[in-house]
Structure 1
Amino acid sequence: MGSGSVRHRAGPGVRTAQCPCSRGEPSQPERGRLPVTPRLLLAVAGWALRLLTGEGVPDAIYSMECVACGAESGATDNDAGPAQHWSLSHTGRSPQCRVFKLHAETFWRTEPCRGNPYADVEQRKPPSGVPR
């Protein structure tokens, strides 16, 4: 088979048609089938998920919610202690409230892995503050 006569595998009972990829033209449709024209290339790129850290970024933001009545403590950065203290005080004021849900928010960032096209783009960017 030459370069223009590549054939794709088909399931049982399905005839194959000449691949249009090398000629850039659609194949002739078989009876009851639509023409096949390659239009989409799918690729897999690696991404990493990392905890966001840095100046001004809290390790976590904590708050507590009463499951019985829906009351909530205030949110605090980097310390769950005030939210826990609030839940004890809330139970002291409302003894029927004894079940609480701790909310902890953290910040995450996705970064392209080596070989990902976006990694190459980020490496070519000038550092922030540098004129172009």
Structure 2
Amino acid sequence: MEIVTLEDNIAKLKKIYKMSDDVINKILYTNHKMYHTHPIEMSAFLTAIDFDEEQRLCVIIEGLHRDIGLSYETLAAYCEITTEELEEFLRNQESLTDKKKFIIAVRIMFLHHILKGKYPTEGNIED
């Protein structure tokens, strides 16, 4: 198991993701409700961008469905696809064109952004 240090993550944020010291300090150390995650956890989130994007999108869709109660029909309408297309995408991410996947991703991430305070996510669970 690899040991993750804050210093290593900060170096990665600077070198790979081209973040300035000001931005890193704002994200990691500002006492604002948006940035309430511990600096090592936040730095780990920002440097561990090695997930499958399509699978992550499916997880967010399922969260909106399960935790808020948005129906697949509603989510599909926001994405301007049929309910059948959305359900098939959740089973098989290769079922849609890249253009449709892009549109779904943008619209679902917008919904997630505006609704994230209404359901539990990693970043807003109260202790």
- Where is the helix percentage greater, Structure 1 or Structure 2? 2
TM-score range, shorter chain: under 0.3
Structure of greater Rg: 1
The structure whose RCO (Cα within 8 Å, separation 6+) is larger is: 1
- Where is the strand percentage greater, Structure 1 or Structure 2? 1
What is the TM-score normalised by the length of structure 2? 0.21
